[in-house]
Amino acid sequence: MALRYQTVLFDLDGTLIDSQKDIIAAVRHGLSQTGIDDPLDPEDILGHVGKPLDEVLKGLGYHLSEPDVQRFITAFRNFYARHFQDNIRLYPHVIEVLKRLRAAGVRTGIVTTKMQNQAELVAQATGVSALVDHIHGWTEGRQHKPNPEPVLTALRALGAEPTGSLMVGDAEVDILAARAAGLDTCAVTWGYRPAPYLNSFRPDYLIADLRDLVPIVIAG
């Protein structure tokens, strides 16, 4: 059994876990704390998941003062920390596929825009943390995707190189960050971006079922 890729990095939200209901609720709560009572279309919110929270605001059309931006971010994070398990679920076949990759000797990691402590809590609550070798979330001073820094930092933590590594994600930022870091890319269509949109970024692979990742990574 040969490996086409020795290392696989995954995005978290929209790739391994479906957290959309809790994220939507947290965005709405954060806006309410800035005096905005706007229900928003859930699809509009989901179209910006994976971006830094200040960019989520701008993408939704809100241009707030810096104090209100910080108020939104704090309220979002506090609400999400209290409610992240309310509706969270793994996408189909996540545990199965992670176990198969581990059994084959593939190094695995998570690269997410979530804060480090929240990423670790979510991964632990869903059983994912026991099946990945590294979790890279955001802390002060770190860069966000599409900057390649989080991808490259995760690879260093895993003792891996860009060549022979694959990034799996549901958003354009995953593709762009991985490509800038020199990795091949695999976009998934069950997350928060539509397949035609993802395809416009020309990922190396596009899959609609996580089980299809296994023959991409493992030859024979």
Kindly report the number of other CB atoms within 10 A of residue 73's CB atom.
Answer: 16
pLDDT tens for residues 106-163?
Answer: 999 999 999 999 999 999 999 999 999 999 999 988 999 999 999 999 999 999 999 9
Averaged pLDDT for residues 37-62: 87
Residue with tokens 């690269």: 111
pTM of the model: 0.91
Which of the residue ranges 5-14, 61-70, 172-181 would you say has the lowest mean pLDDT? 61-70
DSSP, res 129 = G
Q: How far apart are CA 206 and CA 199, in angstroms?
A: 7
10 Å CB burial of residue 78 (0-12, 13-18, 19+) is middle
What token pair was written down for 73?
Answer: 């971010």
Averaged pLDDT for residues 31-45: 88
- Catalytic site residue from 11, 22, 68, 174: 11
18: annotated active-site residue: no
Residue with tokens 């260093």: 156
Averaged pLDDT for residues 45-49: 86
pLDDT tens for residues 164-220?
Answer: 999 999 999 999 999 999 999 999 999 999 999 999 999 999 999 999 999 999 997
Give the long-range contacts of residues 202-208, CB within 8 A, separation 24 or more.
202/175, 203/175, 204/166
How sure is the predictor about 16, in pLDDT bands with cuts at 50, 70 and 90? very high
Q: How far apart are CA 57 and CA 204, in angstroms?
A: 30
How sure is the predictor about 40, in pLDDT bands with cuts at 50, 70 and 90? confident
Q: What are phi and psi of 181, to 5 degrees?
A: -90, -10
